[in-house]
Amino acid sequence: MSFQRKILVTGGAGFIGSHVVRLFVNKYPQYLIFNLDKLTYAGNLENLKDFEKSFNYRFIKGDIVDESFVLKLFEENKFDGVIHLAAESHVDRSIVSPTDFIFTNIVGTVNVLNAAGKIWDNLNLNNKGQVSMESEEQNPISSFRFYHISTDEVYGSLDETGYFTESTPYDPRSPYSASKAAADHLVRAYAHTYNLPVVVTNCSNNYGPYQFPEKLIPLAINNIKNNLPVPVYGKGENTRDWLWVEDHAAAIDLVFHKGRTGATYNIGGFNEWKNLDVIHMLCKIMDEKLGRIKGKSEELITFVKDRPGHDMRYAIDSSLISKELGWKPSLTFEEGLSKTVDWYLANEEWLQHITSGAYQQYYQQQYHQR
Ligand code: NAD
Ligand code: DAU
């Protein structure tokens, strides 16, 4: 069977990546989708079960830090599009073990860029002199794209007012955000220096099904469900801009296909909430869904020592992607949180598998230190 395009998604066994791969596999039967993932603690084949046998999907276990492996993979498969999500993604872990973040997020990104650059060079050479009136299907050079998925955390922290725009200067403040900022700079440097056709998006906090329960929302849901303390860092006044993960995946689809080459788009829900308010909402939803007495789950809220260097507020101005590509979030936060809680309650086994074993050790270390 021949496919119109071969697209590589890195980090597709993680939270956002699994939603992106699912969307592409189901929506584009004419594409062959490769999912390259190391399966770190955050990568989970159970996130992919519903489409793992699809005819247009291939899983490859591998490490983007392994330069020769990545080069060989690109040489063998000649991908004509890359959506790069693989990363170490958790800020708290970056504070404890920054080196992993430097390897995967920076060195790994350079390896993927170099391998994509080789394919791009070959496409350029092979297409020299060709008339460029052909459709994308016939002329892969017009459709080749390196899409780098980044975060709003590269912009630093906001006071009470204002938004991050695409021209906000970078000011990363955690090892995680510094490593993502370095990767973003490298991606843009490859575009400038080698003409690699890149696009970058910087997104706010995602939530929804399949998120690893080290992040605030799934951790709180899991703890409320099990009557465990719900840890709130500092006074719970830090503010995040929350986005339903499928809305992020839909934005990635749009940008991959229609975004301007060389552009950066910010993605966010115009949906800011203080952490403590998020937890209050979750407690209320969980009381209702678990049939608990009103206010019962709130008793679990426990204020703990703050995250070192904790950024106070993130808020994304996503008007560029809305204006240019017509993207907008599909759900209110209340709807999204309710759907998220339903998913975690219905997927007991998924949660059970993740929260046994190494997770327990992480959780104990993380919260007994505080
Ligand atoms: P995640 O931690 O859930 O998933 C990361 C995936 O990358 C995992 O499947 C993991 O196994 C894989 N991976 C890690 N190191 C690898 C390596 N060396 N080689 C190959 N695979 C490797 O992360 P996520 O929350 O889904 O985030 C995905 C991307 O989106 C990241 O680049 C992150 O910076 C970015 N992002 C995340 C958010 C968010 O709220 N979660 C917001 C904005 C941007
Ligand atoms: O803004 C985008 C970023 O959002 C992504 O780039 C990161 O990959 C992603 O992890 C996320 O980073 P945050 O640090 O904002 O997410 P986290 O869920 O870890 O924390 C959200 C907020 O909640 C933050 O202010 C810290 C706080 N928090 C977190 C945990 C885990 C708590 O108060 N208690 C907790 O137990």
What residues does each domain of the chain span?
A: 5-212+243-272+310-331
Measuring from each residue's beta carbon to the nearest atom of ligand 1, which residues come in under 6 Å?
10-11, 13-17, 37-40, 42-43, 63-65, 85-89, 104, 108, 149, 151, 180, 203, 205-206, 212
Mean pLDDT confidence for 68-92: 97
What pLDDT is stored for residue 361 in this prediction?
A: 87
CA distance 326 to 319: 9
For residue 176, indicate whether it is catalytic. Answer: yes
Among 23-27, 134-138, 175-179, the range scoring the smallest mean pLDDT is 134-138
CA distance 271 to 194: 37
Instruction: Determine the Cα angle at 158 with ends 152 and 161, to 5°.
Output: 120
Mean pLDDT confidence for 216-233: 97
Contact present, 246 and 330 (Cβ < 8 Å): yes
Q: Find the 268 Cα to ligand 2 centroid distance in Å.
A: 15
Among 36-45, 155-164, 242-251, 353-362, the range scoring the smallest mean pLDDT is 353-362
Tell me 50's DSSP state: G
Half-sphere exposure of 131 (CA within 13 A, CB side): 2
pLDDT at 274 over 70: yes
What pLDDT is stored for residue 132 in this prediction?
A: 47
What pLDDT is stored for residue 140 in this prediction?
A: 60
3-state secondary structure of 221: helix
pLDDT at 180 over 70: yes
CA distance 83 to 7: 8
Tokens, residue 223: 């703890």
Hey, which of 85, 214, 244 would you mutate to test ligand 1's pocket, going by the most ligand atoms within 8 Å of its Cβ? 85
Q: Is 151 in the pocket of ligand 2 (CB under 6 A)?
A: yes
CB environment 263-291: b (16+ within 10 A), e (fewer):
bbbbbbbbbbbebbebbbbbbbbbbeeee
Mean pLDDT confidence for 155-181: 98
| Nearest ligand atom owner, CA of 279 | 2
Q: Is 90 in the pocket of ligand 2 (CB under 6 A)?
A: yes
| Nearest ligand atom owner, CA of 93 | 2
Tokens, residue 84: 């790069």
Q: Exposed, middle or buried: residue 248 (CB in 10 Å: 0-12, 13-18, 19+)?
A: buried
What pLDDT, in 10s, does the model give residues 310-341?
999 999 999 999 999 999 999 999 999 999 99
Count the helices and strands in the chain (H runs, E runs). 14, 12
Hey, which of 15, 85, 91 would you mutate to test ligand 2's pocket, going by the most ligand atoms within 8 Å of its Cβ? 91
What pLDDT is stored for residue 116 in this prediction?
A: 97
Tokens, residue 261: 């080459």
What CATH number was assigned to the domain covering residues 5-212+243-272+310-331? 3.40.50.720
Mean pLDDT confidence for 2-11: 96
Among 117-121, 236-240, 246-250, 305-309, the range scoring the smallest mean pLDDT is 117-121
| Bridge partners, 231 (sequence order) | 302
For residue 314, indicate whether it is catalytic. Answer: no
Q: Would the pTM count as exceeding 0.85?
A: yes
Q: Of 80, 88, 152, 241, which one is the catalytic site residue?
A: 152
Q: Exposed, middle or buried: residue 349 (CB in 10 Å: 0-12, 13-18, 19+)?
A: exposed
CA distance 129 to 53: 41
Task: Pick the residue whose CA is nearest to atom 3 on ligand 2.
Answer: 205
Task: Please report, for residues 50, 211, 345, 359, the alpha-carbon distance to residue 352 in angstroms, rounded to integers and kept in the order given.
Answer: 19, 13, 11, 10
pLDDT at 193 over 90: yes
Q: Of 176, 210, 265, 314, which one is the catalytic site residue?
A: 176
What pLDDT is stored for residue 133 in this prediction?
A: 47
Nearest atom in ligand 1 to the alpha carbon of residue 243 is: 40
CB environment 16-33: b (16+ within 10 A), e (fewer):
bbbbbbbbbbeebeebbb
φ, ψ for residue 336, nearest 5 deg = -65, -45
pLDDT at 131 over 50: no
Nearest atom in ligand 1 to the alpha carbon of residue 89 is: 2
Task: Please report, for residues 156, 177, 182, 189, 203, the alpha-carbon distance to residue 171 in angstroms, rounded to integers and kept in the order given.
Answer: 5, 9, 11, 18, 15
Q: Of 63, 80, 153, 214, which one is the catalytic site residue?
A: 153
CA distance 115 to 112: 5
Closest by CA position to 15, among listed 258, 346, 349, 344:
344
Is residue 348 very low, low, confident or very high in pLDDT (cuts 50, 70, 90)? very high
Q: Find the 149 Cα to ligand 1 centroid distance in Å.
A: 9
What pLDDT is stored for residue 127 in this prediction?
A: 67
What pLDDT is stored for residue 135 in this prediction?
A: 53
